[in-house]
Chain A
Amino acid sequence: MARHSQAVGRYVTIDVDGFEYEVFYLRNGSGQPLVCQHAAGCHNHQWRDMLEDEDITRHYDVIAYDLPWHGKSDPPVNQEWWEKEYCLTADHFMKFVLRLCDALNLERPVFMGASFGGNLALQLARYHSERFRAVVPIGALDYSPGFFQNIWRDPRANPAHAIPNLLWDSMAPQSPERDRRLALHHASQGAEAFHGDMYFYSVDHDLRGELGKIDARACPVVLMSGSYDYIAPPTAVEALARQIPGGIFVEMDELGHLPMVENYPKFRRYLLEALKVVERKSRVGAG
């Protein structure tokens, strides 16, 4: 018997700095908008379990988009993009999210992102806190150098194989193998974009010395890190949370860098707690 997901996919066309993007997003739920950014080189299937979690969608209007160049969101339709190198900047990345939220008429959504999406969440909290009710960076750092490497385009390295498999170590060995394999499957589809994503991740994203300027009263920041995340380990992420006045840190036991994919049943326990914190802190902030 056929079983349909409650999540529905649509396209919306937006303009960001003259780049016309036809953006694909999955959406389910009602209530407070919750906008989700996938990890580098991946796409919105990383949030599929959350999109179908009734304990989330009962209270949240979950929107998980594919960043242009990823998944079903193509490169800009009005550009000869094949003649230029894709290099994602922090400014363009933030503007993209703001334009998307405008296009979907989202009023002060909660923004959640993983890995480079987590880094973006910190950027949004620093520079556009008035636009968001809260941000939830997962596996995020203020500065993450070293990953903008030519090897991601080196044909001898077979990047479509190497990039996803590099993620394997960042996940917890306790997580179900099926889900960890799915995480690799998602990442194998975005290898061409990964190098340009890393320009943001390792070059243009640098919030060192800036976290103290985040207004966590106006926009609560709940940083999450898995105990097996060696890329953004709990000790480093907790130290970041301490730099943000009012910043909250949640350590996730037996999870890694991509918790929403690698073990959603375990991740959701921490996620529900994080969202409770968001509710409490944003009420306090509003009052």
Chain B
Amino acid sequence: MQKNEWAAWFVEATNSDPVIASHGGNFTCKYMLDMGSVSVIVEMVNGRAHRINTDPGPMDGYDFAFRACAATWRDMSCAVPEPGCQGVFAASATRDMKIEGDIPVLMRNLGNVTRQVELLRNAGVPV
């Protein structure tokens, strides 16, 4: 899937997800998914995917980032991930996943961000 096509899918998957709809009323933040050859910034506003920046520049800000190679992201987005690839914290312990930025912002949104990462199991990643 190309990154623009993937971004459209990710917006739709997020905004139609019943878990985020029921828990994400205050889910407002910006975060980067750094997947090696492709990076995107996800902008969440009150539980809705407001914008996916598929071509972020060096001055485009965000609150926190998840950085890993394409292989790690692909393994995490399998329908049933192998042990160690079931989430960003698991991958940070077992693979090359790095979690960077404003950690309190991540933590207060952790349930919803975790849910979005799990949504990747439905359509994969653009790398």
Interface on A for B, CB 8 Å cutoff? Answer: 151, 154, 156-159, 161-162, 164-166, 168-174, 184, 227-228, 230-231, 233
Q: Which residues of B contact A170 (CB under 8 A)?
A: 89-90
A interface secondary structure, majority? loop
Contact A168/B108 with A151-B103, A173-B81 known, Cβ cut-off 8 Å: no
Assembled-state Cα–Cα distance A78/B18 (Å): 46
Q: Which residues of B contact A157 (CB under 8 A)?
A: 103-104, 107-108
Interface size on B, residues (CB 8 A): 19
The 4 A-B pairs of least Cβ separation, nearest first, read A169-B87, A162-B107, A157-B107, A156-B104
B interface secondary structure, majority? helix
Assembled-state Cα–Cα distance A192/B90 (Å): 24
Contact A172/B108 with A165-B114, A230-B93 known, Cβ cut-off 8 Å: no
Q: Which residues of B contact A159 (CB under 8 A)?
A: 107
Q: Are B83 and A165 in contact (CB under 8 A)?
A: no
Q: Are A162 and B108 in contact (CB under 8 A)?
A: yes
Assembled-state Cα–Cα distance A50/B93 (Å): 30
Interface on B for A, CB 8 Å cutoff? Answer: 80-81, 83-84, 86-90, 93-94, 103-105, 107-108, 110-111, 114
Assembled-state Cα–Cα distance A115/B88 (Å): 20
A258 to chain B, nearest CB (A): 13
Assembled-state Cα–Cα distance A210/B34 (Å): 42
Q: Give me 22 A-to-B residue pairs in the complex whose CB atoms sit less than 8 angstroms apart, sorted by A's number.
A: A154-B104, A154-B107, A156-B108, A157-B103, A157-B104, A157-B107, A157-B108, A158-B107, A159-B107, A161-B107, A162-B110, A166-B110, A171-B86, A172-B83, A172-B86, A173-B80, A173-B81, A184-B111, A227-B83, A230-B84, A230-B86, A233-B84
Q: Are B107 and A169 in contact (CB under 8 A)?
A: no
Q: Which residues of A contact B104 (CB under 8 A)?
A: 151, 154, 156-157
Contact A230/B107 with A169-B114, A173-B80 known, Cβ cut-off 8 Å: no
Q: Are B80 and A165 in contact (CB under 8 A)?
A: no
Assembled-state Cα–Cα distance A63/B86 (Å): 33
Contact A161/B83 with A151-B104, A166-B89, A170-B90 known, Cβ cut-off 8 Å: no
Q: Are B111 and A173 in contact (CB under 8 A)?
A: no
